[in-house]
Amino acid sequence: MIDAKEAVVIAALTAGALASWYLARQNRADVAPPPLETTHRGYYLKSARILGTGADGSLLYEIQAEHAEQQDHNRIAFTDVSVNYTPQSEVPWTVDADTATIEQDESRVLLRGHVRAVSKEGFSGNDTEILTQYLELDPERSVAETDARVQIRIGARSLTATGMLASLKDNTLELKSNVSGKFAP
């Protein structure tokens, strides 16, 4: 049996435990929730589409990407990218690349990795293919430029050069340096 002294000790310990539990519960209500994180994480999209329009609002081109992610407040990065011009724009080119970035204050799309521009009505009216590892494309002006090594196939002719400036709308091409080529009769 429990004597009176032990009963008092047990009662005091029980009262202390209950008081401790009650105070801990009350203090938890006074603690403010952690502040929300204020850093901007940006956004990401799967199967992204960006539409480019002219001054009159007509659709000029479409940028499609497997994935798009905001890198910071001014830059968007894309993977598995394709730039397609509409028939109304009269630019018969498609440009594909592994990755691309667009800066908010720039009108250019910076394409990297296995960049390939193709047209059935390209330079001299022939099937044309441009291959490079880096290309700056201004889709509104339909101008493509690079200082990197470039390989160009125009029909049966093949050219390589370092650097290029091309107007995709006008189908004109300027090679910058180290030009070499192979022409079939």
Tens of pLDDT along 82-126?
A: 999 988 888 889 999 999 999 887 789 999 999 999 998 877 778
How many C-beta atoms lie closer than 10 Å to residue 100's C-beta? Answer: 26
Give the pLDDT confidence score for residue 3 in this predicted structure.
Answer: 77
The C-alpha atoms of residue 60 and residue 140 are separated, in whole angstroms, by 7
Q: How far apart are CA 92 and CA 19, in angstroms?
A: 80
* % pLDDT > 70, the chain: 87
The more confidently predicted of residues 127 and 7 is 127
Residue with tokens 């990407």: 65
Token pair, residue 181, equals 């080529």
| Measured distance CA(54)–CA(31) in Å, rounded | 55
Residue 28 has pLDDT above 70, yes or no: no
106 and 16 belong to one structural domain: no
Do 95 and 16 fall within a single domain?
Answer: no
- Shared domain check, 79 and 48: yes
What is the count of structural domains for the chain? 2
- The pLDDT tens digits for 37-79 are 655 567 788 999 989 888 888 899 999 999 999 887 788 999 9
Residues in the chain: 185
Q: Do residues 61 and 125 share a domain?
A: yes
C-alpha distance from residue 53 to each of 14, 42, 113, 160 (Å): 76, 24, 26, 33
Tell me if residue 140 falls in helix, strand or coil. Answer: coil
Model confidence pTM above 0.75: no
**Is 92 found in the same domain as 138?**
yes
The whole domain housing 15 covers: 1-31
Three-class SS state of 149: strand
